[in-house]
Structures are given as structure tokens and as C-alpha cells.
Structure 1
Amino acid sequence: MTPTAQGDLFPEVPSVGACRLCGAHRYNPACPYCPMRQAHHAAAGRTDLVSGESERAAALAAAVARRQRLAELQRPVRLALVGCGKSKRASAATLGELYSGSLFTAAYRHAQRTADEVFILSAFYGAASPALTPVLPGGLDYDLKLTSTRDEQEAWGHRVGAALERAFRGLTVDVTIYASRLYADAVKPFLPQSWSCSTPLDGLGLFERLSWFSSHDDR
């Protein structure tokens, strides 16, 4: 497809199938990648995936505004990747509200305070916007984990890394991962080589991690 003035602002996106960032088959306004995907579908005449000109215009405007906001930082984008948790609320409007554990709560609060953008790492979603409406297998009471098999870890890490690269293509990014070593080790090899990546919780136990967040949020 020949790039257009608008298309140059967005990463290349698939013409069919689920969003590679949030997994939605239809446009999800909470996902930063879906507006780019929706714009591609609209240009290709895929009207079954959108619901009118006003929604398409809003999606394009949101994607352009996000890109402009990040570009105007004039420094590397601070991206926080927060690992999901086992404890969940019985109901939640967004993914950021779903997880109720003390470690997730501390990590998410710290990430919101210190990062430009925050994504939640999930075995089910991959990397997802905290504003995503959770649609989960078996309802909200599920327990899907990233297994210890190397093939699954690599497949998951590749999916997450590729999706993040598309979402931030052309930008310099400093990534901080607040997640278990299993998730961090699965993601790091698939992040763009030009990005920096830190894992400040590496080697810390549960209470040490909670103490780390407490001490850093007091600054």
C-alpha cells in the first residue's frame, strides 16, 4: 500500500484479523493500536469493522494526537510494562481496575505516576492498555498463566515485542518492566535493540518489591 500523509503517522497494520496489541477483532477505542488498524480498514473499505464516519474521524484524531503528544516530549518515551495479577475483582470496567492484588496496585500506581504510557502484561492479552474493557475466558474469574515452556514464552514474547514496536515505531523508548522474571525475560529479547530496558524488581521477593515501591513513591 502506498503511504499517504496520514499513513506515514501510523505503523503498518494487518488488513484482517485481530488487533495484535489488544486482541480485539473489532475496533477497541481503549487500545492505542486499534485506531491505526481502524484507519487501515477504513481506507480498505472494511466498513464492517467500524460504525460510521464520526467514529473513524475520532479514531484518527486520537491516534494523531497520541503520536504528536509522544513526539513532542523531545526525549525518549517512558514506557512502563506492569505484570498482571492473580487476584481480581468480581467486576471491572477496565483492565486497570480488574487486578486487585497489593503488588499490582503498587506497581500500577507507580507506573501511572512515572511513565508516559502504561501497558499491562497478561498471558491472555499480551500487552494491553489499562483502559481496555476486559473480555476474558470464562468471565473475570480466570487464571491463565504463561507456562514455563520455552516455545510458549518465546511466542508470547515475540507477540508482545512486535506489537509494542508497531505502537511506538519511529520513537525512542525507555522501557521499565514491573513484572515477574518469567514475563520480563520473555519480553526483553523481542524489544527493539535501540530501546533501553530496565527491570528494577529483578531478584526481589514480594515484600521487597512492595518496599521498593513504597520507598520510591515517597520521593
Structure 2
Amino acid sequence: MSLALVACVKTKRSEPAPAEQLYTSPWFKKARQYAIQESETWRILSAKHGLLHPETKIPPYETTLYDFSADQRWEWTSSVLKSLHPLLRIHDEVLILAGKRYREYIIDPLRENGVTVRIPMEGLGLGEQLRYLNEQLDG
């Protein structure tokens, strides 16, 4: 099985919506499309809510992992890993479309459990990520 993880973004609707529609930035929309194209299923990494199913309705919020201490990020990661556990098996693949803070503590535990982790945009700036996503979606 393949699962894509897409990070939340700052740009959101002003009213509650399903998570997949709450985030409105061009990056998120393209990352969502790419996740759907490349994986059997996908989830959203939300700084406030942890792991979100795309159809879960939530209100807008202003929380980012970039404001979290290392201890808070460990706590958040623990919650995300607990939510991922029933979704993944050995030899599954996780595609991560998220910045360093959102993925830093997730990668090693997944790999230690026999899950393949792919981070296709690692090291790319925002403009380069958008270009990468455009190329993948147009191809």
C-alpha cells in the first residue's frame, strides 16, 4: 500500500471545511493532486490536529510546527505515528510532501518498522517544489 502525507499550510478558508478543502494555497492544491495521483490513499499532517483524514471537517486555525519546541514536536510526532500505525504494514510506502519540521521525527520510526519513505522534494525551495509538482502533474 502507498500512503501520501501532505503538510498543512497557512493559507486557509475562513469557515470550517473538510480538511482537503480548508487549505487553499497553490502549493497545497498541487501537493494534494500529486498525493492522489501517486498514492492509494493520503492524509494531511496538521500542526493542530495531527494526522487528518482529508474528509474530516475542521475550523480554520493558526498553528504551525515552526512555533513548537522540540519537545512539543516529539509529542506531536508521537500522536501522528500512533494514528499512522493501523494504516501501515511492512513494505508499505509513505510519500512525504512536507517541510523538515513536519517530517523530521517521523522518518526513522517508519523505516525502523519496515516502511519505505520517499521525500521527492527534499531540499527544494518553495518555487522549486511548485515547479516539481507542475512537472509531475503535467507529465
Asked if Structure 1 and Structure 2 have the same fold, meaning a TM-score greater than 0.5 normalized by the shorter chain, the answer is yes
Match of 1:182 among 75, 78, 101: 101
Please report the RMSD computed on the Cα atoms of aligned residues, expressed in angstroms: 1.5
Q: Kindly report structure 1 stretches of 4+ aligned residues shifted beyond 3 Å.
A: none
Q: How much does 1:164 deviate?
A: 0.4
Bigger radius of gyration among the two: 1
Structure with the larger RCO, 1 or 2 (CA within 8 Å, 6+ apart): 2
| CA displacement 1:40-85 (0-9 Å, x = unmatched) | xxxxxxxxxxxxxxxxxxxxxxxxxxxxxxxxxxxxx110000001
In 1, Cα distance between equivalents of 2:21 and 2:38: 19
Alignment of 1:93-172 (within 5 A): 93-134=17-58, 136=59, 140=60, 142-146=61-65, 147-168=67-88, 170=89, 172=91
* 1:216 corresponds to: 136
Contact 2:90 2:115 in 1 (8 A): no
Give, as a single letter, the amino acid of the residue that structure 2 aligns with 1:211: R
Give, as a single letter, the amino acid of the residue that structure 1 aligns with 2:34: H
Flag structure 2 segments of 5+ consecutive residues without an equivalent. none
> TM-score, structure 1 length as denominator?
0.59
Give, as a single letter, the amino acid of the residue that structure 2 aligns with 1:153: R
Contact 1:80 1:117 in 2 (8 A): yes
Flag structure 1 segments of 5+ consecutive residues without an equivalent. 1-76
Contact 1:158 1:190 in 2 (8 A): no
Secondary structure, counterpart of 1:105 in structure 2: helix
Give, as a single letter, the amino acid of the residue that structure 1 aligns with 2:96: I
> Cα 1:153–1:189, aligned 2, differ >3 Å: closer, same or farther?
farther
Q: How much does 1:171 deviate?
A: 5.6
In 2, Cα distance between equivalents of 1:205 and 1:198: 17
Please identify which structure carries the higher strand content: 2
State the identity %: 28
* 2:115 corresponds to: 195
> TM-score, structure 2 length as denominator?
0.90
Give, as a single letter, the amino acid of the residue that structure 2 aligns with 1:157: T
